[in-house]
Structure 1
Amino acid sequence: MIWDHALWHWTSLAWLVALVWVALYLIVFRRAAVHGLRSLVLGASLMVLAFVSPIGVLADGYLFSAHMVQHLLLLLVIPMCLLLSLPKEKMAQWFENARLDRAGRMLSHPVPGWVCGVGAMWLWHVPVLCSAATQNAGIGCLRDTSFLLAGLAFWWPIFAPVQRYRLPPLSGISYLFSACIGCTLLGIYITFTTITVCPAFANPVDRLHVLTSLYDAGLTPAIDQQLGGLLMWVPPCSLYVGVIISLLCRWYSNTETVTPPESPGGYGRPFSTSAK
């Protein structure tokens, strides 16, 4: 069923958005490192996947679980790829500007980023808003844009291209751990509540004539909501744990190298605590 032509939205505007991202990146950062371009292409590819593939088609009023996958890509994965693609040297030059530096420092504060990242997911799963965004294209576009912007704000204190805007490793760990708790609570609520979290998915209109196949596969609206809750619960925390491990490695590598007081001759030098 996944290869059914009806389940692919080949005319989606996501193609245009992805191509504009790549084109602007190549124009602005002509000498960007290869790994930065790879991160951007990955983010652009996931953008296309989120809207062109069956994920995007089924998220449009058919499966709450597909809707959840799409939103996790928009909120967590794609913004992270975009930030990781930014060349550090070029961005450091840009943020020498006083206004940009002020904006960078504001974004580096953990509270706004945390509220944007966790709050956006909670807000758009209020039943009336969730249904409205699913049934109305304009509201849906607003929701998707807000996810991307909220994701950029959320990841900025962790992956900002300028080092001074990043949280210290231990603070970053607390930031991500608390975000994991926020996603877990929402996931538990969606998984175990008897309330229909997004009524638009309770009685979908079978425009593509695929509901019989979906229900035969066991994806009834109740089971679909439980699956969506699990997707809200497990993958985000797995991602957070992966980033937490990277922060722990960074913190450990920083503590491995210390600088002793200068010797009388003034030639103090760094040394490894593991040196014999």
Structure 2
Amino acid sequence: MQEKSGSKKGLFIGLGVVVVAAAAVMLLHGNGKSAQSDSKVQTINVGSGNDGQPFAYLDKNGKPAGMDIALIQAIDKKLPQYQFKLTLSDFPTLITNLKSGKTTMAMYQIEQNAERKQDFKFGSVGYTVWDTLLATQTATGKLDSFADAKGKKVYVTNATNQATLTDAYLKDHPDAFSVVRGTYTTEQIAQGFKSGQFNVYPAPKYSIDLLNRQFGTQLIAGKSINHSNAYPMFNKDADPKLIAAVNKAMGELKADGTLKKLSEEWLKGDYVPKN
């Protein structure tokens, strides 16, 4: 996301990228923020993804890119009292970092669920619809519930809300279907369908659209099995003032059309929650 002419703020990479234990740490400096001797500017460690196109990833030049990255940048520009520093990792590591306090805030298409609400705080403004659908190939037919997936092979990404939903169903129906677990890229998910490794994928509509558009998987889906949105998530000890500031910035970005613009740019469609 390019900085507008005349802006006094902005997020950009400084000093390159440090890779430690599969986590890429981006030192981010805002124009006019880190250069000034203003003790009121507080550094906030923010977690996001390093290999999750089109949400958060490293591009061919090793720079962070994606919808969540662009949104973090847009939020930072609105908050002169904070300076964001990014730590990029896979999703399970992101959760561990936030829980341990290595990061204070995280944005990587994170949904709310009962377990996360116990361990973390959430922002109040959702930015991507993540209603869970059961994606299948045409030959398998549309599935409207986990009950319809009986006897099939389901893929879930580790530590996601879809994994939580799947495990909750299996707790009461342990022999309903088999499960493949992992942290697959979009391409690997497409290959998994084509090879027959699995034939059901709990996912939001935009992920299904992306698979069909990029890899020709021709996946279909029935009714939503769960309603959810993506939100900023915070360490349970995060300062309420920070959370309030992020909520305010997010509300402004939704009202002025920035969220929609970012969704259309990165996700190729308007997947912003309507309420």
TM-score range, shorter chain: under 0.3
TM-score by length of 2: 0.26
Greater relative CO (CA pairs within 8 A, separation 6+) = 2
TM-score by length of 1: 0.26
Flag the structure with higher helix content: 1
Rg larger in structure: 1
